[in-house]
Amino acid sequence: MSENETKIASGYRFAGVHCGLKADGVADLALIVSEAPAVMAATFTRNRFPAAPVVYGRRQLELHTPVRAVLVNAGNANACTGRQGEIDVMTTVEVLASVLKIDRDEIFVSSTGVIGEPFPVTTVLKGIEALAEGIAADTSASSGALEAAARAIMTTDQVPKIAASTVMTSQGPVTVTGIAKGAGMIHPDMATMLAYLLCDVEIGEKEWREMLSRVVDLSFNRISVDGDTSTNDTVLALANGASGCRLESESELAALETGLLEVARQLAYMIVKDGEGATKVVTVRVVGAADRPAAEKVARAVANSALVKTAFFGQDANWGRIVAAVGYAGVEIDSDRVNIDFDQVRVVSNGVRDPRYRESDGAAVLKEAEFVVKIDLNQGDGDFSLLTSDLTHDYISINADYRS
């Protein structure tokens, strides 16, 4: 394996093909297969219009069924498709189960793409055979096959998103490999985002599910591109035990969680960096709030403000937009105690422009591709951070004709 290849968790194989959901021969159908039944953990969108595969996935989660295969299509969300959409999911699952010779309950499905269009199930079924051939060819779980799968789940993404981490344990190495898609409709509480975290550890279902819940809250639920939450958001984590390492001690479980969080945060960062038309990655950090929920409300208000985000794009150090967002966040504050910094530049002290602040210093920070906006409310120990992007002309162009 070359230095540029991604470390792949043991016991997983990958394929990505073009089946006809997207034009110009672009890959649009992906398959992940675990050689052994894998413990499943998942989180889904909170949108009240859940897509058919989300409805199906929630049922799987309740049944506690191990997962052997994950099928993901781009180009069509299979959302707002009614009972027929659910029937199409079942049809797809039954055909794939027959091809792979596994139980249909061991198959997890996801979709991403345009909402409200009938699901082209016949087209997907035609692609399943090609996927099975690709899986058969990926006997050594190559980085090329992993990248093919990562590309096949993209919609408006400009780059595939892949990350990995290896945790050393007393029983040997445990690897987490992750792929994700997402660039628009990105908002905390998931987003138009699909993410798959694959691990070769042996672990109890309860521990695995609790671990994923904590990891998602610290990663994918702390990003925002445009404030829109999709119908299809999914994070799936699988643990198939192929490494032969079973972790039970608190210290080694904590180390595994750190590795899982590292991969999730890398993927979350990539999503923001690849935000539709984005040119900036901005960390909004709120400290000194009365408590953590108050800090979160303020951070989300600032990170989701269209006025703030367009100022970031224009490299306009218009700090008044930030204090306005702080003020409408719905949190009791003492405005005379608020401080704001752009990186190391103090912009606001005690609710007013810092007497040492120069506009050119603030503008210099905003010219950077990445920077931190720190808001200190000076009212307690509450602390919350999230990643956001700027809002650009390209975002409008991409979304004005997304379906064309």
**In this structure, are residues 74 and 100 in contact, taking their beta carbons and an 8 Å threshold?**
no
The predicted-structure confidence for 332-350, as pLDDT tens digits, reads as follows 999 999 999 999 999 999 9
Looking at CATH, the fold of the domain delimited by 12-273 is given as: L-amino peptidase D-ALA esterase/amidase (3.60.70)
The Cα–Cα gap between 85 and 90 comes to: 9
Residue 336 neighbours by CB distance under 10 Å: 9
247 phi-psi bin (left φ>0, alpha ψ -120 to 50, beta other) = beta
Instruction: Look at residue 184 in the predicted model and tell me its pLDDT.
Output: 54
Classify domain 281-400 by CATH number: 3.10.20.340
Q: What is the distance between the alpha carbons of residues 327 and 348, in angstroms, rounded to a whole number?
A: 14
- Predicted pLDDT of residue 255: 97
CA angle 100/13/263 to nearest 5° reads 135
Residue range 225-280, pLDDT digits in tens: 766 678 899 999 999 999 999 998 999 999 999 999 999 999 999 999 987 778 99
pLDDT of residue 155: 87
CA–CA distance, 276 with 260 (Å, rounded to integer)? 26
| pLDDT score recorded for residue 6 | 84
Q: Where are the domains of the chain?
A: 12-273, 281-400
Quick check: 21 and 76 in contact, CB under 8 A?
Answer: yes
pLDDT at residue 191, as a whole number: 43
- Which among 45, 175, 192, 234 is annotated as catalytic? 192
Residue 256 half-sphere exposure, CB side, CA atoms within 13 Å?
Answer: 32
CA 141, CA 108: separation in Å to the nearest integer?
Answer: 20
Q: Determine the pLDDT at residue 401.
A: 57
d(CA 208, CA 196): 14
Residue whose entry in the numeric block shows the structure tokens 């919350």: 384
- pLDDT < 50 positions in the chain: 1-4, 185-191, 402-404
Cβ pair 371, 344 in contact under 8 A: no
Angle, CA of 274, 278 and 281, to the nearest 5°: 80
Residue 192 annotated as catalytic:
yes
- For residue 1, the model assigns a pLDDT of 35
Percent of the chain with pLDDT over 70: 94
Q: Quick one: pLDDT at residue 5?
A: 65
What is residue 171's predicted lDDT score, i.e. its pLDDT?
A: 95
